[in-house]
Every structure is written in C-alpha cells, then in structure tokens.
Amino acid sequence: MIDRRNILAILAILIALAAGTARAQGDGSRVQAPLPPGKMVDAGGHRLHIYCTGHVSPTVVVENGSGDFSFDWSLVQPAVSRFTRICTYDRAGYAWSEPGPVPRTFRQITFELATALKNAGIDGPYVMAGQSYGGFLARAFARFYPKDVVGMVLVEAVNEDSRIVMGGKAVRIRDWAKGREFPAAPVENYKPKNGVSQKEAVSAADRKLEAPYDRLSPEMQRLQLWAEAQPTFRQAVGDEMDWSPEELQKMYENRGRSEYMLGDMPLIVLTRGEGGYADLPGVSAAELENERLRLQADLAGLSTNSVQIIDKKSGHNIHLEDPATVIEAFRRVVDAARRRKALVPDNMAATPKLRTGRTN
C-alpha cells in the first residue's frame, strides 16, 4: 500500500502502479471512459480539465497533491461554492487533462494553470490552495503571478526542508538535486502527445480504494479508479518528480527572500495531528515529529498574517478526513481577502493548537 502521508507518494505511486497495486485491488473490465464534469481548456498547446463552481470573487484555485485529482475535493467544493467561486483542475496528464510538455518545472506547471484560467474566463484575484505537493505549486503561483493572488490555504503542505522516510532512512528530497540549470519556460514548439483515450478505461466495478479515499461517493470512487488506471497518469507523476529535487533546493536556498514570501497575505496552514513516525537509525520518532511541527510552523511564517491549525481529527488528507475544517479555512481566508482584514484566531472545530505570524 502507498503511504499518502508525505511527498514519498511521488515515488511510491510509480512503484505501486508498476506492480499493479496502487490504492486499489482487483481486476477490471473495459468500459467507456466517463465524461469530464468541467471544461477542457487550452493551456498553451494542450488542454486541461478545469471544474469551476460558484460565482463570487475571489476564486479559490486548488492545486492537488501528487497523484490526486480534481474530484478528490468533492467533499469540499460544493460547500465552498456557496460563498465564493472555486476551481479544481487536473494537471497535465492527470485524468482527462492532456499530457503537457516536459520538463515539468514549477514555472511550466503554473504557466499552464494561469493560461487555462485565462482561457476559461476565470480572472483573479485568486486564493490559492495547495495540498501536500500542491503546496509547492500554490506558493510558486504566488511567486510568478503575485498581483493575482490575495490569499492562500496550505493543506498538509510539505516544507522544502522536510525529511521523508524511505528505505528505513529519513531523507530530504532536495538532497537529490544535481544542480541542473533550469530550462526556459514555458516550453515552446513542442508536439502535444495524445490525450486520455475517451474510448476505453478500466472499470472500477470489482476494485476497492484504501482509506481515506473510500470516503468519496461511489461515483467519485469510480472516477478515482479510472483516473489511476490511465497510462498518462503514470508518466505525469514521474515527469513532475524529475525536477522536484531541483525546485525544492532552489526554494530552500532562497528562503526568506521577499519574492519567496507572502508579505501580509492572509494564510492558513492546516497541519495533521500526528506524524506517525517510528524510530529510525540515527533519528528518533520524537525528533522527526518535532521537526515536522517546526517546519509546519515555518510555513505559517511565510506571511505576517497567518494562522496555523493543527487538526487532531485528521491525517495527511484533511480534505477527505475532515472536510469541514478545510471549508472553514477557505471561508476565513476568502473573507479576510475581501475585507482586507487580518486573520484572527478563533475557536474553530478541530483547532486545539494555533500559531500566528512567523515562528523562528
């Protein structure tokens, strides 16, 4: 099974899919692919699937974790669309979205999102939301398009200095950086690959999802299993991983620089209650847990107008395990952005511990 609690999912998905296990078990038959709930929008030479609901500004724009899809926010999106517009989407190669050009740098990925939003007629301002790996992309979007972003919610986002458990050791993804020179972006003069076939897909009839994805509705679970079975998905995860060490090392080297910070933008950082670590050679579970909490507090320090919420009810997938807390975080940041007011800690459900402002 895949441990979805940290960025190791970027690698684990590749390994699990190659072995035919992933998050689901069982064999499926061939059926017609489902129709996308949103629109297929040009993102600069290929089309992305983007699904927007609600009508009021600012627009919440969601960046998924590695290996996740737009419909994984189906427990959150309907409620958020009652007080503002919210857009979820599938990155290039995921679900219905067509594969995009490589290399998949943060600048390339955020350019595609910005282009798709523009072509869909979804103008800023935006409240960026990023879960897990998507937190890096939400921060990158704010860095490359600062005039368009007025707020941010980081949902169990990974810090660029975080250690993950791999092969019985605690390692940092950024340590795998090779010092490669970043390529120009956006990529030009590339030949788009074929998109996801709309003729055939793997049926989910006799397959089951692991928790917490089994909290999705039966319809969304079928979409999850279909999307995981697409060959473009396997390639997309690998292409994103290729440049992640370089990107994280760059973020680490530039930490504290103004363009990598969020100023006084309203920011809420949602953090799971327990890390779930075990003792490892050279480092104890307690050390890893203290480091995790310190680095999550460091994310709150990206803005002088921030609140960290430690959710004792949830693990890594707070949007699935405790969607009410995510919905309320979106509401608070949207309200602060609209009124240009500071975030004020309050007695939200599942918030036994709060931090505000930067933590040294």
Q: Model confidence over 131-152: pLDDT tens digits?
A: 999 999 999 999 999 999 999 9
- How far apart CA 324 and CA 248 sit, in angstroms, is 30
DSSP state of 301: T
Rg over CA atoms, the chain: 19
pLDDT at 347 over 80: no
Which has more confidence, 11 or 276? 276
pLDDT score at 242: 95
Q: Considering only residues 62 and 201, tell me which one the structure prediction assigns the higher pLDDT.
A: 62
pLDDT tens digits along 228-286: 999 899 899 999 999 999 999 999 999 999 999 999 999 999 999 999 999 999 999 99
**Residue keyed to tokens 């006799």:** 206
> What sign has the CA pseudo-torsion 173, 174, 180, 183?
positive
Burial of 238 (0-12, 13-18, 19+ CB in 10 A): middle
Of 147 and 354, which is predicted with more confidence? Answer: 147
Please state the rounded mean pLDDT for residues 332-344. 93
Q: What is the pLDDT of residues 78-91, one digit of tens each?
A: 999 999 999 999 99
The residue segments making up the domain with residue 184 are: 9-262
**pLDDT of 204 strictly over 80:** no
**Cross-sheet strand order for the sheet of 149-155:** 39-42, 47-53, 86-90, 59-63, 126-131, 149-155, 267-272, 306-311, 354-356
Residue 269 near residue 296, CB atoms below 8 Å: yes
Percent of the chain with pLDDT over 90: 78
* Residue 89 domain flag: yes
Mean confidence (pLDDT) of the chain: 87
Q: What is the mean pLDDT of residues 100-122?
A: 97
Q: What is the DSSP letter of 229?
A: T
Question: What pLDDT sits at residue 71?
Answer: 98
Asked if the structure places residue 271 within a domain, the reply is no
Judge whether 309 lies within some domain: no
What DSSP string runs through 302-321? T-SSEEEEEETT--S-HHHH
Q: Is residue 291 part of a domain?
A: no
pLDDT score at 32: 62
Domain tally for the chain? 1
Residue type, 45: G
Does residue 301 contact residue 58 with C-beta atoms inside 8 Å? no
Whether 301 is covered by a domain: the verdict is no
Q: Nearest 5 degrees, angle CA 237-CA 163-CA 262? A: 80
Residues 6+ apart with CB under 8 A from 121: none
> What pLDDT score was predicted for residue 15?
39
Q: Which of 31, 48, 28, 30 is nearest to 39 (CA)?
A: 48
Identify each DSSP E strand in the chain by its residue range.
Answer: 24-25, 30-31, 39-42, 47-53, 59-63, 86-90, 126-131, 149-155, 163-166, 169-172, 201-202, 208-209, 267-272, 306-311, 354-356
Query: Residue 21 pLDDT > 60, yes or no?
Result: no
Higher pLDDT, 39 or 356: 39
Q: Is residue 195 part of a domain?
A: yes
Among residues 309, 216, 306, which one has the least CA distance to residue 270? 309
Q: What are φ and ψ of residue 308, in 5° steps?
A: -105, 135
Residue 354 lies in a domain: no
Instruction: Please give the Cα distance from 124 to 57 (Å, whole number).
Output: 8
Query: Does residue 339 or residue 352 have the better pLDDT?
Result: 339
Distances (CA, A) of 42 to 87, 114, 149, 350: 15, 11, 22, 40
> For position 344, what pLDDT does the model report?
74
Residue 209 is assigned to a structural domain of this protein: yes
Which tokens hold the place of 26? 């069982």
| Burial profile 16-31: b = 16 or more Cβ within 10 angstroms, e = fewer | bbeeeebbbeeebeee
Q: What CATH code is carried by the domain that includes residue 134?
A: 3.40.50.1820
